[in-house]
Copies of this chain bind each other. A is one copy, B any other.
Amino acid sequence: MQRNQSSSFYLGVDGGGSKCKAVVVNHDLEILGSAVAGPANPCVDYQLAIHSITESCSQALAEAGLSQQQHQIELGLALAGVNFENVFQRVNEWSHPYHSMRLITDWHAACLGAHEGKDGAVVIVGTGSCGYVCVDGHSKSFGGHGFPVGDKGSGAWLGLQAVKAALLAKDEMGPATLLMDKLCESLSCKPEELAIRMVGASSAHYAQLAKTVFAANKDGDEQAARILREATDYIEAMLASILKYQPPRLSFVGGITPFLVPLLNSELRERISRPLANPEMGAVYALLKNNR
């Protein structure tokens, strides 16, 4: 069957632990609408994820003046957590209202976006951390196992290390640090309230504390410097593994990027290029790769 390409529209979605972004484009990749909705990590809350995806898509389509009833909408859905096979299967069986759906990991979408659908690699350092390389049809991920077992160097990891160091210093069982003051300021709490404030905290909550580590490091705090050294050691080791695959381009994405990249060694820094497009556009590129 010959597809009438001009009547197709592409919906690109990138969902993760804190938000879900959607973009609608036509066949010429002109952006017709976009929207942001709530958390969409199916490992954390499947129903909420589906709700956020639906909401972001509906809003983006409304902005574009399109509806899934009247137009042929193809959904490129990039989600955190679908690297796990059982999570992938569950989301992939979702009876979505669109013409078709392609489900990929958020890492894959970030990589496709950063290099406009071409080969390359990304290091994602946001709430979580992960490396992803895609060369000659082969792809491989590094890290990205989730918090707290993985995600070293990420915002959540940095926040957790800050709290740990502050509590050790408070108990006089670890070196003195400025981190307690920074954390208490950030959380508007007293030192004795810090631990209870963090009971059951989500990775997104920990990630909000990452800025205390960069601030304390700027003020010459040795514990903050130690934490950032451990983070950059890990990210540099990840980069060494990634570069063995000789990706033609390498980008960093995620909220921690502007703070962490300047701390990497200069030889590695020179290899980094800016992302050409965002992950939700990456999800659209995944559709085009399928179709063309």
> Which residues from chain B contact A44 at a C-beta distance below 8 Å?
199-200
In whole Å, how far is A93's beta carbon from the nearest beta carbon of chain B?
17
In the assembled complex, the Cα of A199 lies from the Cα of B144 at a distance in Å of 12
Residues A171 and B146 in contact, CB atoms below 8 Å apart: no
Given the interface pairs A142-B173, A173-B143, A173-B241, the reply to whether A149 lies near B234 with Cβ below 8 Å is no
Q: Which of B84, B142, B195 contacts A195 (CB 8 A)?
A: B84
Copies in the complex: 2
* A248 part of interface (Cβ distance < 8 Å): no
Q: Which residues of chain B are within 8 angstroms of A148 by Cβ–Cβ distance?
A: 148, 160
Contact between B86 and A196 (Cβ–Cβ < 8 Å)? Answer: yes
Interface assignment of A167: CB less than 8 Å from any CB of chain B: yes
Contact A241:B149 (CB < 8 A) given known A43-B196, A196-B87: no
Interface residues in A188-209 by Cβ distance below 8 A to B read 192-196, 198-200
Report if A31 contacts B (CB, 8 A): no
Instruction: Decide if B237 touches A173 in the complex (CB within 8 Å).
Output: yes
> What per-residue 1/0 map shows which CB atoms of A224-256 lie under 8 Å from chain B?
000000000010011001000000000000000
Chain B residue, CB-CB nearest to A86: B196
A19 within 8 A of B: no
A87, A143, A171, A200 pick with most chain B CB within 10 angstroms = A171
Residues from chain B with a CB closer than 8 A to the CB of A211 are none
Query: Is A24 an interface residue when CB atoms closer than 8 A count as contact?
Result: no
| A172 CB–B CB distance under 8 Å | yes
Q: Does A258 contact B (CB under 8 A)?
A: no
A281 within 8 A of B: no
Contact residues in B for A84 (Cβ distance below 8 Å)? 193, 195-196
**Across the interface, do A149 and B167 meet the contact criterion of CB distance under 8 Å?**
yes
Q: Which residues of B contact A241 (CB under 8 A)?
A: 171-173
Residues A149 and B164 in contact, CB atoms below 8 Å apart:
yes
Given contacts A43-B196, A87-B196, list 12 more A-B pairs with CB under 8 A: A44-B200, A142-B171, A143-B167, A143-B173, A145-B167, A145-B194, A146-B195, A146-B199, A149-B164, A150-B167, A172-B241, A173-B238
- 7 contacting pairs across A/B (C-beta < 8 A): A86-B196, A142-B173, A148-B148, A149-B163, A149-B164, A150-B195, A173-B237
